[in-house]
Amino acid sequence: MLQLRDSSGHNLVRVAALLLSAGLGSCAQHTVPNYSPIFTGPSARLLMRAQLAPREIYGVYSLAGTDDCSKPQLVGTGNATKNPTATVIAAGKMNTLDILVLKPDNGACKLRWSFVPKANHSYLVSARSLTGGCAALILDATDPDNISPEQSA
């Protein structure tokens, strides 16, 4: 059985199954690597938050293959009481993120956002669980008193 855990110990088997069903493989076992912010040049800060019901979890993945939405890297996972640690992403170029919300009844939804972050800005992935699915936004949170939807998303 495929076992994936993030750095906090969350079991990501269902996340892996969803990714595999999205076309990342057939019978082979795949390891989704952790995101590693290795790049040169300007950067932006990425924060992740979610409004979830108890026992729901979410994951944020960066797609390193931005041209064909391939090569997912796990940025972080969280639940109703814990959010992933902030990270940095490359600024001035397209970034594509998958946001997965997994429900205790084996329901799941995946949303994909692409945007071009500005250098020295802060961005918030805001996910929310809904009765019939989920929603997610990319917000420019550079000014915490004036958080707004990211215009390039």
Give the global pTM.
Answer: 0.79
**Predicted local confidence at residue 53, as pLDDT:** 92
CB atoms within 10 A of CB 86: 14
- Average pLDDT (124-135) is 92
Pairing of strands 95-102, 57-65: antiparallel
- pLDDT given for residue 18 in this prediction: 45
Please tell me the distance from the alpha carbon of residue 93 to that of residue 137, in angstroms, as a whole number: 19
Dist. CA 40–CA 113, nearest whole Å: 23
> Rounded to a whole number, what is the largest CA-CA distance in the chain?
49
Composition of the chain by helix, strand, coil, percent to 5? 10, 45, 45
* The predicted structure's pLDDT at residue 132: 84
- Distances in Å between the Cα of 68 and the Cα atoms of 59, 84, 96, 107 are 20, 26, 10, 26
DSSP three-state, residue 149: strand
Q: What is the pLDDT of residue 9?
A: 52
pLDDT tens-digit readout, 18-38: 444 444 444 555 688 999 887
